[in-house]
Every structure is written in C-alpha cells, then in structure tokens.
Structure 1
C-alpha cells in the first residue's frame, strides 16, 4: 500500500473538481444575494434581468435554453419578477404562442443599481487577484468549458 499523497489532478478527477465548482457557485450566489437583498432582487432574478438587457433572451424559451432551466421553473421565476414590477410580458407578433419579455420603467431604474452591487460583490470575491491571476482563472475555466462541450 502506497503512502503517496494523491496529486491535485487525481483529487480533482475523483470528484473534488465538481464539489469545488459547486461550492464556489453557491458562495457566489450567497454573496450576490446579500448585496442584492436591499433592492428586493434575488440573484436568479438579476440573472434574468441581465439576460434581457444583454439581448440573450426575450422569451421564456430563450431564457430556458440560456440558463438551463425547465419551462415550469422559469415560468415561476418570471411570474415573481413580473409581480415585483421589474418586467412585463408583451405580445409576440412573430409567434402568438409566446410573449416577449421587457424591462418596465421600474426594472430599467433598478437594473443599473443591481449591476453596481453585483460588481462590488465580484470585486470583493476577486480580492487579492492580480490581473495575471484573473487572466489565468479565465483561461482555465474556459478550457474546462471547452472540454465539457467537446465531451
């Protein structure tokens, strides 16, 4: 029996990578939720608003595809955002079976504030990172994504 310490790569391959990424994601969401709470926006709601603003999704189907949600969960999330007055559903002239999502005036006013507090949270999360560290992190995470998609 070997007393050799497993390599970091071996540890990652035994499941540590998935656990670590899940833990980081959870930590990021918790930090963002704390920052967004005074604005009455959750991180999931902010992500939807951000997708709409960036043009990544204007329909329920778009958002389900981009965010990997099922339609029932996305419908419930959108209903909560509509109830808060941040978005509205408008008729989709191109496809009467769906509606388009757009920010309301209230959503347009809240989004820049939410964007600022998320930036503050991310800067805190990246505290102590140099530009080189951030570039390396980006490159390594990008490589994992490429490998996951080519799989």
Structure 2
C-alpha cells in the first residue's frame, strides 16, 4: 500500500514550523554574534542600541518586549552595557519609579557601524533569494505574526 506524503502545511503543523523558526533564529543570532565580535558588542547589546536609536524603546519594559527578556535578565544586560559606558539610565520625568535608557556618545557612534555589520549578515543569509522569493518570505513571516497576534 502506497502512502501519500503529508502536505507541507500538515508537516509544519506537527511542530516542524517551530523547529525551523528556532533554527533560523539561532543561525541569525550566531551569525550576528560573530560579525559583531570585532566591535566588542553582543547581538543582544546591538538590539538594545538599535531599539533605542530607532525610538522603539526607552524603558526596561519596552526593551523586555522587543527582546523577549524578563525584567531581571534585562536589568543584568543593561548593567553590563552600562559598565562599558554604552548606555546610561536617567530618571523618568513621567514616572519616578522608572528610568529611561539612553545611548551615550560612544554607543551612538557605534550604532551605524554595528548596523552595517548586521546588514552584511542578513545579506549573506538572503543570498540566492530572488525578489519574488524575498517578497514571499516577508509576506509569510508577516502572516505568521498576524495569526499569532489574533490568537494570543
């Protein structure tokens, strides 16, 4: 008796989607770590700088949401970055119980260099994709995020 292969959607629904996305995320993170090594910053530190520089986060809570860290882990990460002189915490004028996280002159100068390194990583990871495939990849990832937002 011949069995018909399961559809790709069925295969992905068995958990394969999670394995693939986790594998891609880990590959991206490792590649960024290697690329940023000469700048003496980690991928997590870059995400903090970039988030602040793009105006998408200035509090520990904002940064936790972007990185998926809990507040304790974020505080430890910020402590390490602050020791390097790359961020500073300033009193939040709107909430005396919290601090705003700001770039220092040193990290503000580092952001454009780090972005070029990260762009190089993504350029390498997208090698072999034509424009149509890149559009389909972007649309697929956006659809997954939309579905997750609806169900979550």
Common fold, TM-score beyond 0.5?
yes
Residue 9 (structure 2) aligns with: 9
Alignment partners' CA distance in 2, 1:61 and 1:144: 24
Alignment partners' CA distance in 1, 2:25 and 2:3: 33
- Which ranges of structure 2 fall in alignment gaps of 5 or more residues? none
Alignment partners' CA distance in 1, 2:120 and 2:36: 11
Instruction: Provide the TM-score with structure 1 as the length reference.
Output: 0.95
CA displacement at 1:2 relative to structure 2: 5.5
Q: Does 1:143 align with 2:143?
A: yes
Alignment partners' CA distance in 1, 2:96 and 2:2: 66
How much is the aligned-residue C-alpha RMSD, in angstroms?
1.2
Q: Does 1:83 align with 2:83?
A: yes
- Which ranges of structure 1 fall in alignment gaps of 5 or more residues? none
Runs of 4+ deviating beyond 3 Å: none
How many pairs were matched up?
151
Please give the secondary structure, in 1, of the residue aligned with 2:32: helix
Alignment partners' CA distance in 1, 2:41 and 2:108: 13
Which range moves more in the overlay, 24-33 or 57-66?
A: 57-66
Instruction: Provide the TM-score with structure 2 as the length reference.
Output: 0.94
Residue 113 (structure 2) aligns with: 113
Residue 68 (structure 1) aligns with: 68
Residue 94 (structure 2) aligns with: 94
